[in-house]
Amino acid sequence: MELIDILGYFGALVIGITLGLIGGGGSILTVPVLVYLLSINPVTATAYSLFVVGASSLVGAINNMKKKLVDLRTATVFAIPAFIAVYGTRKYLVPAIPDHIFTLRGFEVTKDIGIMLFFAIIMVVASISMIKGNGKEELQEVKVKYNYPLIILEGVVVGILTGIVGAGGGFLIIPALVLLAKLPMKKAVATSLLIIAVKSLIGFIGDVENLEIDWIFLMIFTGMSIAGIFLGGYLNKFIDGGKLKKSFGWFVLVMGIYIIGKELL
């Protein structure tokens, strides 16, 4: 095993630790680790990311369900349009993107470059959300209300974004659950993990039919990420998650800008 492979698997561990420490955000590093450290093409990397994100989120969701923090009705209302959208995106939309998208002043934007640029933009948006967040997760009992049309629309949008870039989309789902379903923050965070798990794994099914999957590699990488979640959960007892989230947000912002520069230059 070469050094770059070891760094790639270490990256999987870091992804899991981040998820365990701050409850989200780590999955947005999965695609850069797979593409830039392990030299996997972006389309396959986003597919692998869906599996890693889905499996890792499922571990967190099961843990939250034991604590009775997951609102199953809200998860169902949001997840159905989301997983239909993400499955359709991976099954039909991503394969339909042409290898050559357009040329601007002699610079050719290919399918791989387009996906990475779009992913980098999502990273920048997510980083701003993490940097601005106040880190408070108060658990207050309020009556859950549903704005069904907006929840369905948000689910479709999140599903399409997840399908294209392979990230969990928690930075979009959590605000939607708080604003549209009136969930308290802790329940919104916990419920989002179940939604992310379901839509990511179902989206990955759309890839199984289109791509050749290296299952041994994928299982090892995912196993490292899940191990990181448990380690992050332990470290969470000693580290301020709110401050860490802001620091991680700045790191993601730098990574997003780096990817934009790398793909354009």
The rounded distance, in Å, linking the Cα atoms of 61 and 70 is: 8
Q: What is the mean pLDDT of residues 16-24?
A: 75
Confidence class of residue 139 from pLDDT cuts 50, 70 and 90?
very low
Which is more confidently placed, 84 or 186? 84
Has residue 55 got a pLDDT over 50? yes
Which is more confidently placed, 107 or 181? 107
The mean pLDDT of the chain is: 84
Reported as a single tens digit per residue, the pLDDT across 7-19 is: 889 999 988 888 7
* C-alpha separations of 72 from 36, 138, 158 in Å: 37, 19, 18
Q: What is the mean pLDDT of residues 224-235?
A: 87
The rounded distance, in Å, linking the Cα atoms of 252 and 125 is: 10
Q: What is the mean pLDDT of residues 232-240?
A: 79
- Listed range (39-48, 78-87, 185-194) with the worst mean pLDDT: 185-194
Reported as a single tens digit per residue, the pLDDT across 30-46 is: 889 999 999 999 999 99
Q: What tokens were used for 10?
A: 């270490």
The rounded distance, in Å, linking the Cα atoms of 45 and 65 is: 29
CB 111: neighbour CB atoms within 10 A?
17
Reported as a single tens digit per residue, the pLDDT across 144-191 is: 666 778 888 888 988 898 888 877 677 778 777 877 777 887 788 788
* C-alpha separations of 229 from 92, 161, 162, 219 in Å: 32, 24, 21, 15
